[in-house]
Amino acid sequence: MKTSSLAAMPLFSDSTLDTIAKVAGAVTAVTAAGVGFAKWIAPWAAQRLMVQDVHKGIRLLNTLHETMESAIDAGAAHRIIIFSAHNCGGIPKPGAPFYASAIHWAIDRQWARNAGFADEKLSDYHHLELDHSYVSMLAGMLASGEYRYTTEKEATSLLRSIYVSTGVSDSLLVYLGVHNNRMIYASFARYGGELGEADLTVIRLKAGLLRGCLREANG
């Protein structure tokens, strides 16, 4: 049988094979250099992003506190506390403890002093184990976005006892969102008298700003 001359011909010439080998070597070198560069720059990039996140977090914290202070300056509330309702990191559910902890606040110290509660501290409201009345209030807040709590109109409960002991006569509690398995809400409270319609309007506007601030921080 006669052998075809085409079968004996090489697919590439020697010069072409040399070129392919050089390109492959160059690609390998570039790839190795790229891997080396990535290993070198990764820690720097991570550090840079961390610094940016810290700066952003501090700016948002400042915005959050300025928003609360502006509501107090407007006379809409005398004390504002942002709370976290939580199960110590887990999903709230039956069979597990459920708490509320204060995480941010602003207070009109002059009003507090006049009402006789100048010694009130944020740490007073840490890890409060919630009763049925409080959980019911949170459920109502979830349903409508807010809950009006006028102390003298409420039955005996954990929240009422806290309000009586701290001189709070009226408040609007506003839902701010869920972040990291925690329900975040704010209490806008007055010492003496009731919240008027103008106060409620200011509170709702400020709550919207707080909600946006928390969303940006946890988005």
Residue 42 pLDDT: 65
Give the strand order in the sheet containing 146-150. 128-129, 99-107, 79-86, 182-191, 168-179, 146-150
For residue 145, report the phi and psi dihedrals to the nearest 5 degrees.
90, -10
Tokens found for residue 111? 């009003």
Could you tell me if residue 123 is inside a domain?
A: yes
Amino acid letter, residue 206? K
CA–CA gap between residue 99 and residue 77 (Å, rounded): 24
Please list, in sequence order, all residues whose beta carbon lies within 8 angstroms of the beta carbon of residue 23, skipping any fewer than 6 positions away.
none
**What is the domain-level CATH number for residue 202?**
3.30.450.40
Q: What is the pLDDT along the chain (219 residues), one digit of tens a residue?
A: 444 444 444 555 556 545 555 455 555 555 555 556 556 666 766 777 777 888 888 999 999 999 999 999 999 999 999 999 999 778 888 988 999 999 999 999 887 777 776 678 888 899 999 999 999 999 999 999 999 999 999 999 999 999 998 889 999 999 999 999 999 999 999 998 999 999 999 999 999 999 999 999 997
- Is the CB of residue 102 less than 8 Å from the CB of residue 94? no
Could you tell me if residue 56 is inside a domain?
A: no
User: What range does the domain containing 124 cover?
Assistant: 66-218
Could you tell me if residue 184 is inside a domain?
A: yes
Could you tell me if residue 48 is inside a domain?
A: no
Could you tell me if residue 37 is inside a domain?
A: no
Q: Which single residue is written with the structure tokens 């928003």?
A: 67
Could you tell me if residue 46 is inside a domain?
A: no
Could you tell me if residue 143 is inside a domain?
A: yes
155-168 pLDDT, tens digit per residue, is 999 999 999 988 89
Supply the pTM of this predicted model: 0.78
Residue 120 pLDDT: 80
Q: Which residues of 85-113 are buried (b: 16+ CB within 10 A; e: fewer)?
A: bbeeeeebeeeeebbbbbebbbbbeebbe
Q: Which single residue is written with the structure tokens 């070129």?
A: 19
Total count of domains within the chain: 1
Could you tell me if residue 167 is inside a domain?
A: yes
